[in-house]
Amino acid sequence: MSDPVRIIEMGPRDGLQNEKTPVSVEARIAFIEALVAAGLDTVEVGAFVSPKAIPQMASSDAVLRGVAHVTGAEFHVLVPNEKGYDAARAAGAKVVSVFAAASEGFSRANINCTVAESIERFKPMLARARADGVKVRGYISCVLGCPFDGDIKPTAVADLASTLWDLGCYEISLGDTIGVGTPDKAKAMLRAVAANVPAAKLAMHFHDTYGQALANLYAGLAEGVRVIDAAAGGLGGCPYAPGATGNVATEEVVYMLEGMGVTTGVDMEKLLAATNTMSGVLGKPPVSRVATALNAKKKRAAS
């Protein structure tokens, strides 16, 4: 449990793509720069998707080019198909992410195809990425529940993870997209997946809709998973799940891990500053309880 944990920062992509307030390219670049300065050296910075479908991710090419000067960091972008892959590569992408769902209902609602059809779409892109020397990260949505299909069997997640692994994804991120999971369910799912894919190659991407994300992460840490996706300030949500909140807040993950004696390499003060700046851009306070508590503490100390 004391082994270091790698945090993948999702705020600039998974967080902002569900925010109603548009964020300029300049503000997104500044946000990413601040997150890297805080010690978050792996950041997902955008998505090469249709701007009609997700206008918040428009100009992801400009964002990726705009952070090219930042050293010592790895930047990821989401790509849904070969067209997105081409655009990402033209902008200099070295790591791309593909996504599939563990449930048929979510797959049809999100990308208008079956799970099997989504995998077929990825195959030529993954083959090209391998030839181009581009790393591919695989996401699986709805691993602990689906707004359309309800409970998801761990075997379904394990089978899909195995497929993505065999196709060449270097890491599989397991997403509780609507945040309905609980620790025992998370543990059972992770054990099933780890039978097919090494635990060291898995990541946990847990949303906090029902306040269970940290408990689920703790259960996953006990299973040997050492990679966590998180979003500064708890940004985000899911358009297909009423009431779904964003990814677990990076501040809360760091606070828990550092309290356990686990090294994250993240400077909380700088992370809080990055979160507060983006909250100002969005015109609302951070969802993160740790950020709220630390801001109140600072305000009290200054008065």
Query: Within a 10 A sphere around the Cβ of 23, how many other Cβ atoms?
Result: 18
Element (H, E) at 75: strand 74-78
Active-site annotation holds for 238: yes
Which residue in 142, 146, 169, 238 is the catalytic one?
Answer: 238
DSSP symbol at 14? I
Q: Counting beta carbons within 10 angstroms of the beta carbon of residue 243, is it exposed (0 to 12), middle (13 to 18) or buried (19 or more)? A: exposed
DSSP assignment of 216-249: HHHHHHHTT--EEEEBGGG--B-TTSTT-B-BPB
CA distance 47 to 75: 11
The strand pair at 74-78 and 227-230 is best described as unpaired
Q: Give the Cα separation of 183 and 166 in Å (integer).
A: 28
Give ∠ CA 58-238-152 in degrees, rounded to 5: 130
Max Cα–Cα distance, the chain, nearest Å: 59
* Residues 230 and 7: beta-carbon distance below 8 Å: yes
Angle at 122 between CA 96 and CA 25, to 5 degrees: 35
Count of alpha carbons within 13 Å of 109, Cβ hemisphere only? 16
Enzyme catalytic residues: 238
